[in-house]
A and B are shown apart, each in its own frame.
Chain A
């Protein structure tokens, strides 16, 4: 077995345009997903929007530069994540394909074991 993080990418402006109803629907879809895959779930959270995110980059002179916003300047940002356990990538992809992400998609990244 291995652990995978499923990053949920989405377009924040699309969420704003879609309004509160869409968010309610999405929360219900996530509750359903979590009930269906409870056995594989090891953690996860919804995140605050990227506007309250702060990024830190290491500079060439050995210091750090702190900037407002998400790390990559793209339309889609990470809006939440799950930590799941799966036997292999195929199983992880099967689970991840069911993660609700109506205005984007998900990215599956293996977790580097801490030991």
Chain B
């Protein structure tokens, strides 16, 4: 195997899979068949590129081969007169006016909108997106979400079946539906990113593969929907958060507070790109979720001193965010901002209001944040209990070590308070 060709195929798999599959799906009207077409195209690329060299536009080459395979399938289907439930959407033969380049249609938007349709279960939306847009195998998708492969396979099969029988259309929603449907797409991309940024379980803090896929998806959406402030906001949020990836742990893998991070190790290209996008996203009113979250991330990224951002500004951004998105997780982050802006007693009071919130039961950030403020209030015995509770709930090994270390720093009995900056490891 020629390593240059192998690398080119791997790169094209990472960057072009969704486009190749989306183009085939338009013709076959069937996601399973489209997956087969895409797989065939990549298999053929290995041999052909070895013999004839890597083409100038690998994506176009692969799309052409996949579309040819799709035509074969359509012919075979006509012969068999098979009655299959096909994707609802435009006539595959006729363009419907939204193709910039008719010869090489970019159907990735249709594909992501069908994968993230609100009629599908949220878990299935994420799984389909990773599988169909990013080309992850079922095993890889299962491992990302700490599920067994058969469970994930069943989930994907069920979702594809619903798409076909309920006739979820292979179409970009019209302007009336776009904001709501786009929000569902952005939530999926954001979930993929957060899962990669801090893995919910396992030994590694981050799953770089997932974080990079999310960044790719956000960049794709930005390219295809350049005028949507919500998209600019999500890309900005991902860039500004991802920029800290290299600084989040010390050389021994210990999780660092944002105040302890070496800002020279932040990715400054990503930060400046993120800041530009955040500014653009915030020019449109009314604000939506991701532009506001990007503004919060931007405030952290532009803190005058390490770990000392403008907390009053962050708190007022959280107030705006919670007004449009009253979620317990936002309330929890807002409570931490209250503590940083107004002192640990105020933060603790804001956190304690959330104690009965069922959606936060089992979420380790709540006891971890309480522990931090209890520590600052010199209530060390209570802080120890709160750390214990957080340790019971945290699944990520790096986060667990962080929490155990913070707990270990508590003075025995009564003593002085430590001051750490953010409410929890970042």
* Residues of chain A whose beta carbon lies under 8 Å from any beta carbon of chain B: 2, 87-90, 92-93, 108, 110
Contact = CB atoms under 8 A, between A and B. Distances in A.
A110 B119 contact: no
Interface residues of B, number: 12
B357 interface: no
A90 B166 CA distance: 10
A88 B89 CA distance: 8
A110 B88 CA distance: 13
> Which of B167, B169, B173, B177 gathers most chain A CB within 10 Å?
B167
B165 interface: yes
B119 A88 contact: no
A108 B173 CA distance: 19
A88 B165 contact: no
20 contacts: A2-B88, A87-B167, A87-B169, A88-B88, A88-B168, A88-B171, A89-B88, A89-B119, A89-B166, A89-B167, A89-B168, A90-B169, A90-B171, A90-B173, A90-B177, A92-B167, A93-B119, A110-B165, A110-B166, A110-B167
A28 B38 CA distance: 53
Nearest to B113: A90
Contacts of A87: 88, 167, 169
Nearest to A93: B119
A88 B164 CA distance: 10
User: In the complex, which of the residues A2, A87, A89, A110 has the most CB atoms of chain B within 10 Å of its own CB atom?
Assistant: A89
Contacts of A108: 166
Given A88-B89, A89-B117, 4 more contacts: A2-B88, A89-B166, A89-B169, A110-B165
Interface string B267-298: 00000000000000000000000000000000
Nearest to B173: A90
